[in-house]
Amino acid sequence: MNPEDFVQELSKRNFKLSEPQIKQFNQYFTSLLLANKQVNLTRITAKDDVYLKHFFDSLTPLFTFGSVFEPDSTLCDVGAGAGFPSIPLKLLRPDLKVTIVDSLGKRLHFLQDLVDQLGLTDVKLVHGRAEDVGQNPTYREQFDLVTARAVANMAVLSEYCLPLVKLKGNLLALKGPKAASELTEAQKAITVLGGQMRQQEELRLPGSEEERTLILIRKVKPTPKKYPRQAGTPHRKPIH
């Protein structure tokens, strides 16, 4: 997917990119490649692949579950790495108030430079592990939307993310192909943490064989105080 195809595909979905937005995505690509020489941010570096597998992929929740992206929503992106999916979402929806949580300082340094280069406002970077941030009253149950892309399996991911989602807010998980079995195994964790499965959509990225699964979970009751557990515990002992 070259940049022209990207613009066209977004237009088909009623998102018409302005010239400044097109330039922002191009600047994002340039900055990503430059920083990737110093910090391991991505294995995907070909321009067409970055536009398809990073930029377009990050925007699929907006195309699929658009109704949950209410105006001026607060969004927390857990383990964003090089800024996916939150920065592409922010470029398309500048009204979103974004908080990015990552445990690696070098990645956050890249993201701070990127935010400055792209001229973005209402983007906050938080250095920490999701388990610690989820117990911090500043962030706990504060967000309308929490996103995570390729971070962990659903049981573990739910413990990282659901504590951050406010009541009646939503968790959006961007997963690879055939995530149904993962979701079945995570059912108990989702319920225990106050979530309720709303929707699961399987899709294929345009003009490719790349399959994806998007999972939407609604927060229906508060997360019990003991969750998330200490850093490392959700991964070692997932809720089953």
The DSSP annotation for 58-75 comes to HHHHHHHSGGG--TT-EE
155 is in an annotated binding site: no
pLDDT cut 70: percent of the chain above it: 100
Supply φ then ψ for residue 102, to 5 degrees: -150, 150
131 is in an annotated binding site: yes
Tell me which residue of 21, 35, 130 sits closest to 80, measured CA to CA: 130
Residue 126 has pLDDT above 80, yes or no: yes
79 is in an annotated binding site: yes
Residue 9 has pLDDT above 90, yes or no: yes
168 sits in which H/E element: strand 165-175
**Mean pLDDT, all residues of the chain:** 95
Q: Quote the pLDDT of residue 80.
A: 83
Query: Before 163, cis peptide (omega within 30)?
Result: no
Return the higher-pLDDT residue of 218 and 153. Answer: 218
Please, which pLDDT band fits residue 211 given cuts at 50, 70 and 90? very high
Contact 149, 84 (CB under 8 A): yes
Model-level pTM? 0.95
130 is in an annotated binding site: yes
Please, which pLDDT band fits residue 205 given cuts at 50, 70 and 90? very high
CB burial of residue 95 (10 Å; 0-12, 13-18, 19+) = exposed
Collect all residues with Cβ–Cβ distance below 8 Å to 184 and sequence separation of at least 6: none
pLDDT tens profile 65-102? 999 999 999 999 999 889 999 999 999 999 999 999 99
The yes or no reply on domain 3-236 and CATH 3.40.50.150 is yes
